[in-house]
């Protein structure tokens, strides 16, 4: 029954042999979850990640900006302190 429901949601057409095979695999997966449920986790702090995540961003500190000459050095076009590009309509 579960396999037919899942295959319908996934829009899969399964043969009887495939239904039987996947039914056994789904049963094995659900049984494994029962094994995991028996593990004592009362002293384990809940977590969303298996490893500790730390912030990898650097501190945001003001720095000297590029001067106008360096900013426009590789630009195809610029005018009056702005980048110039083809018109887009």
| Domain map (residue ranges) of the chain | 1-39
Distances in Å between the Cα of 87 and the Cα atoms of 37, 81, 84 are: 63, 18, 9
The rounded mean pLDDT for the chain is: 87
Distance CA 57, CA 55 (A): 6
| Architecture per CATH, 1-39 | Orthogonal Bundle (1.10)
* pLDDT given at position 66: 79
Query: Is the Cβ–Cβ distance between 3 and 22 less than 8 Å?
Result: yes
Tens of pLDDT, residue by residue over 25-66, are 989 999 999 999 999 989 988 888 888 888 888 888 888 887
- The separation between CA 40 and the C-alpha centre of its own chain, rounded to angstroms, equals 30
Distance CA 31, CA 27 (A): 6
Instruction: Compute the average pLDDT of residues 1-28.
Output: 90
Instruction: Compute the average pLDDT of residues 17-30.
Output: 91
Instruction: Compute the average pLDDT of residues 9-18.
Output: 93
- 1 versus 40: which is more confidently predicted? 40
Residue positions counted in the chain: 89
């Amino acid at each position: 029954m579960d396999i037919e429901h899942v295959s319908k949601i996934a829009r899969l057409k399964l043969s009887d042999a495939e239904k039987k095979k996947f039914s056994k695999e789904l049963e094995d997966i659900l049984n494994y979850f029962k094994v995991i449920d028996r593990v004592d986790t009362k002293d384990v702090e809940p977590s969303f990640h298996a490893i500790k995540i730390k912030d990898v961003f650097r501190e945001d500190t003001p720095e000297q900006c590029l001067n106008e000459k360096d900013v426009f050095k590789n630009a195809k076009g610029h005018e009056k302190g702005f980048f110039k590009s083809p018109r887009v309509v």
